[in-house]
């Protein structure tokens, strides 16, 4: 009989290690990060070539973690200046507020005077021939922040000075997935040429269904790199779990059947993978060997994180059983393309919310009993 983990401090260590918060830029969090080497490489290449990037992924797929890991790597480069923002910091996401936040961070950087770019900016502000502008820069919150054209001049002056000194500037905005994509499009539509001219890179984390709106004309060439975060496979799931067990100094073993069952239930979403294991560890009867049955006992991971478009599609099917993705009515009601509907249907089917059956050449979808049961959780 396997011994049971009844030591409470072990349990707390485990639950801490399996937290589903994003991986942050702490030294210890670095140990948790797995996979995505290629995605990191292509993002860094984009920055080096002054291109903008969309990091595309579903809720909990690892966008913030990837971003933080990239920024961790960039801090080693003294010629790189990273301006990190979250869309949640903005009262309204628009051009004025975007520039305001960036200028404010640049001024802070110059005051701290520690990094290479901070020193450059500090020296630059001190030697400004325009005394009035110098005073404004040194003031805590210049009134001119409310004047868009002055704000833009500050932005351009500081950025160009850094660029003249070979500093790579990268502005990353996380949590774009939490705001309206049209606002994002409006913000960057208005400063597109300025960003191009200044040779800055912008990196945004977005949901798959935001991409088409954000990249509609005239921003169709603006975000030239899309880094699509892929689902965790068997190997990376195993690694994700093992790294956290090691961190908690746990001697628990997970057999391959348990990993496979977790993957089947979660579709390889790392946040859901962590949720499954946390539930296993929360149970009083955790043994030192976790097998498929332990995962099965967790029950279904209730996903209250379905993105709104997936919820809408699911709800449509509740009321319109046996619908097909090629129905024009369906696409029109959902306001997304038919191919996007087909993609979401396939995801909902994999997660067990819906089933499909073929009728002639047409594939029809309906909600499953388990999907209906889970409906209140969606």
Binding site for ligand ATP (CB under 6 A): 20-23, 32-36, 57, 59-65, 177, 240, 270-271, 274
Q: Which stretch binds Mg ion (CB under 5 A): 56-64, 88-96, 181-189, 308-316?
A: 56-64
Of the candidates 52, 61, 64, 187, which one interacts with Mg ion according to CB under 5 A? 64
Residue of minimal Cβ distance to Mg ion: 64
The listed partner (Mg ion, ligand ATP, none) that binds 62, CB under 5 to 8 Å by sort, is: ligand ATP
In whole angstroms, the minimum distance from the beta carbon of 229 to ligand ATP comes to 7
- The first and second tokens of residue 346, run together, are 């396939």
Q: Which is nearer to ligand ATP, 237 or 325 (CB)?
A: 237
In whole angstroms, the minimum distance from the beta carbon of 32 to ligand ATP comes to 5
Separation between Cα atoms, residue 111 and residue 77, nearest integer Å: 20
Q: Is 373 helix (H, G, I), strand (E, B) or coil?
A: helix
Check: CB of residue 348 under 8 Å from CB of residue 338. no
CA 238 from chain center: how many Å? 22
Separation between Cα atoms, residue 150 and residue 359, nearest integer Å: 63
In whole angstroms, the minimum distance from the beta carbon of 21 to ligand ATP comes to 6
Binding of Mg ion at residue 210 (CB under 5 A)? no
Q: Which is nearer to ligand ATP, 138 or 213 (CB)?
A: 213
Q: Which is nearer to ligand ATP, 46 or 56 (CB)?
A: 56
Check: CB of residue 210 under 8 Å from CB of residue 173. no
Q: Which is nearer to ligand ATP, 14 or 240 (CB)?
A: 240
In whole angstroms, the minimum distance from the beta carbon of 240 to ligand ATP comes to 5
Q: Is 151 helix (H, G, I), strand (E, B) or coil?
A: helix
- The first and second tokens of residue 164, run together, are 């003249």
For 200, 234, 297, 340, 373, the CA distances from 369, given in Å and listed in that order, are 51, 28, 19, 24, 6
Q: Is 131 helix (H, G, I), strand (E, B) or coil?
A: helix
Residues within the interface to Mg ion (CB under 5 A): 63-64
């Amino acid at each position: 009989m396997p011994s049971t983990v009844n030591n409470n401090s072990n349990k707390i260590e485990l639950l801490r290690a399996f937290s589903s918060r994003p991986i942050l830029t702490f030294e210890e969090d670095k140990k948790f990060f797995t996979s995505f080497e290629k995605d990191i490489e292509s993002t860094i290449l984009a920055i080096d070539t002054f291109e903008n990037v969309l990091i595309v992924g579903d809720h909990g797929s690892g966008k913030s973690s990837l971003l933080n890991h990239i920024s961790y790597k960039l801090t080693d480069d003294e010629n790189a200046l990273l301006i990190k923002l979250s869309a949640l910091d903005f009262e309204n996401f628009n051009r004025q507020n975007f520039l305001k936040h960036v200028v404010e961070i640049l001024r802070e950087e110059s005051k701290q005077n520690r990094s290479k770019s901070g020193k450059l900016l500090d020296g630059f502000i001190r030697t400004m021939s325009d005394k009035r502008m110098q005073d404004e820069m040194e003031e805590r919150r210049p009134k001119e922040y409310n004047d868009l054209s002055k704000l833009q001049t500050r932005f351009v002056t500081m950025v160009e000075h850094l660029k003249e000194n070979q500093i790579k500037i990268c502005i990353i905005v996380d949590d774009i997935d939490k705001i309206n994509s049209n606002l994002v499009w409006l913000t960057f539509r208005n400063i597109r040429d300025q960003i191009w001219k200044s040779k800055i890179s912008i990196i945004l984390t977005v949901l798959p269904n935001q991409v088409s709106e954000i990249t509609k004309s005239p921003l169709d060439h603006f975000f030239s790199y899309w880094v699509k975060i892929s689902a965790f496979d068997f190997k990376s799931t195993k690694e994700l779990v093992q790294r956290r067990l090691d961190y908690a100094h746990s001697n628990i073993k997970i057999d391959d059947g348990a990993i496979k069952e977790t993957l089947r239930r979660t579709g390889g979403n790392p946040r859901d993978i962590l949720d499954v294991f946390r539930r296993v560890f929360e149970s009083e009867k955790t043994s030192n060997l976790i097998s498929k049955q332990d995962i099965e006992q967790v029950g279904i991971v209730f996903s209250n994180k379905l993105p709104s478009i997936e919820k809408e599609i699911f709800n449509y099917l509740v009321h319109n059983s046996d619908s097909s993705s090629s129905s024009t009515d369906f696409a029109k009601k959902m306001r997304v393309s038919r191919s996007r509907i087909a993609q979401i249907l396939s995801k909902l089917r994999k997660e067990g919310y819906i089933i499909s059956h073929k009728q002639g050449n047409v594939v029809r979808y309906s909600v499953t009993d388990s999907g209906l049961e889970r409906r209140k959780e969606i």
